[in-house]
Amino acid sequence: MYTILYTIKIKPNQEEKFIKAWKELTTLIYKYEGSFGSRLHKKDALHFFAYAQWPDKHTFENAGGNLPEEAHHCRNRMREAYEKFEVLDKYEMIEDLLKPQRSE
């Protein structure tokens, strides 16, 4: 598994707009590009951290060409809502000891 870490600084009063666009874009990437999805974490009103997981580095590096036009609109809405979106690092997973989530 290949993981990408992101840090995001949201513009004031743009949190809901960003989260909505992020969810929509992540869903499209999952559906059309083969990612395992992403998780978004909030530090405070303006600072977020996210990570996306992919089956492997090759799948990540070759993603983008299968997305529908709708993805570009989602990306643009995200850009309008953040001041900074930065890739912190990229990692290859070697062990996974997270417990599976229970459905309740």
Amino acid of residue 33: E
pLDDT at 101: 77
pLDDT at 88: 96
Q: Residue 12 phi/psi, 5° resolution?
A: -55, 140
HSE at residue 48, side-chain half, CA atoms within 13 A, is 27
- Is beta strand 2-10 parallel, antiparallel or unpaired with respect to 37-42? unpaired
pLDDT at 64: 87
Helix or strand or coil: residue 59?
helix
HSE at residue 41, side-chain half, CA atoms within 13 A, is 8
- Give, rounded to a whole angstrom, the gap between the first and last alpha carbons of the chain: 27
Classify domain 2-92 by CATH architecture: 2-Layer Sandwich (3.30)
Q: Kindly give the confidence (pLDDT) of every residue in the chain, 104 residues in length, as a single tens digit, with 9 standing for 90 and above.
A: 999 999 999 999 999 999 999 999 999 999 999 999 999 999 998 999 999 999 999 999 999 899 999 999 999 999 999 999 999 999 999 998 888 877 66
pLDDT at 91: 96
Structural domain spans, the chain: 2-92
Instruction: Report the predicted TM-score, pTM, of the whole model to 2 decimal places.
Output: 0.87
Place of tokens 């953040």: 82
